[in-house]
Structures are given as C-alpha cells and as structure tokens.
A = this chain, B = another copy of it.
Amino acid sequence: MSNEIYQKIRVVLVNPSHPGNIGAVARAMKTMALAQLVIVAPQRDPFDSEARARAAGALDVLLRAQVVEQFEQAISDCGLVVGASARLRTIPWPTFDPHQCAQQVVATARHDAVALVFGREDTGLTNDELARCQRLVHIPANPDYSSLNLASAVQVITYEIRMAELAAGDQSVSLPPEQPLATAAELQGLYQHLEKTLQQIGFYDPANPRQLMRRLRRLFNRAQLDKMEMNILRGILAAVDEKHK
C-alpha cells in the first residue's frame, strides 16, 4: 500500500544545470522512499561522474531517471501538478507550505499520479511553467536568504510527504473520488479551447489580455476537475462554438 503511493509520486527537474545536484536529488528522494525521477532538458549530462558521486547509494534512482525534452511530457498524465516556488507572483496562486502540500499529495497519490516540479537552480520555473501547476509549494525560508540548494528543497518536500504517509498509515480518511481526475494534458486542452471560444464571442482580446486566462486557469486548477466535469465544460464550449458557426 505504502509502496504504491510512493510509486505514484514523481520528482520533475526542469532544465537543471548542475549534474551534481541531480545526483543529490536522487539521494534525497531515495532516503524518503521515492524513486521516480524525470529530468526535462538537462543543461549537462545528468549521469556524469559528479552526478554519480553525489547520488551515493541512490545510483539506481539516478540511472533509472527518465530524460525528456519538453516539460509537457513530464506531467501530461498527472492528476496533480505541484510546483516548487521561491517567488511571490503578481497573481497569487494557491500556495501551500510543505506540510500542507504533503497532505494533499499523499491523498491524491492514492488514486492519481502526482508530479512535484522543481525549476532551474538560478531562475526557478517560468511563468508559463508555473501556470501549468495546480498548486505551488513554498518553503517558508529566511526572507533575507531563501536560496535552498535544489537537493535540499527536494529533501524538505519529500520528507514532509514521507511524514504525511507515515501518519496516514492505513487509515484512509478521504473517499475515493467518484471519477478519476482530469490529467494535465486534458486541462491544457480545456484552457486552449476556452481561450479560443472566449475570443470568438469577443470576451477575450489577446492584444489586451488583462491576465484573464491566467485567472481562469487558477480558478479551474484550484477546483481539481474530475473527468466528468472536464467533459461537461468541454461540452459547454462546444455548444457555444456551434451557435457561432
């Protein structure tokens, strides 16, 4: 049971620059019983000698890591995508501390795949990448120096997940959802459809976006749509489109 939950949770590193950090992330993950590592467009060879040295006894996790070119490939099948963010955004996004985050990650991982997304060492995640995340997790670091090492950030987040999983034990408080959750790819499809339809009815002008699409994304991300709700919303958009043919 425990193992199944850990297998549903992957760590996604976006565009990491230092192979040593990637190895250290593998080590941090394995100490917390996680093994699914996905590396998006690494800037250098993620399996070099420094990465292997820093992985220590977690070399297996490092060597089984999946390397993909696009961020989309790393998250498309996930029911929950959580982004680690050190920055405050102009539009506040639903943000949890690692303890709160872990409760939701463990509850979701009982039935759906979860991605924990970590950005570049220097600049973090882009706004477009953050917009693909349904939740943000923020480690409440020292405001005067909040720069955790990448592997240290992974260690803290995954530590809280293990604590939550141990505390939850066999008691499953949350009911299984009526329907599987919509995947990240399905959500992306919804947002594209919504944007197109809103342009068509004259409500949305890309030349004057006023953060409209970002606000709508935030709303639906927060709701964690299931597949039936997704189908209803797509159906409504299709009905609006049909009338405007």
Contact = CB atoms under 8 A, between A and B. Distances in A.
Given A163-B140, A240-B240, A148 B203 contact: no
Interface string A206-232: 000000100110011011110011001
A198 interface: yes
B173 A138 contact: yes
Interface residues on A, range: 35 or more
B219 A222 contact: no
Interface in A62-95: 88, 91-92, 95
A212 B239 contact: no
A33 B148 CA distance: 12
Nearest to A141: B31
Given A95-B174, A97-B173, A31 B203 contact: no
A239 B141 contact: no
A242 B152 CA distance: 54
Interface in A90-109: 91-92, 95-99
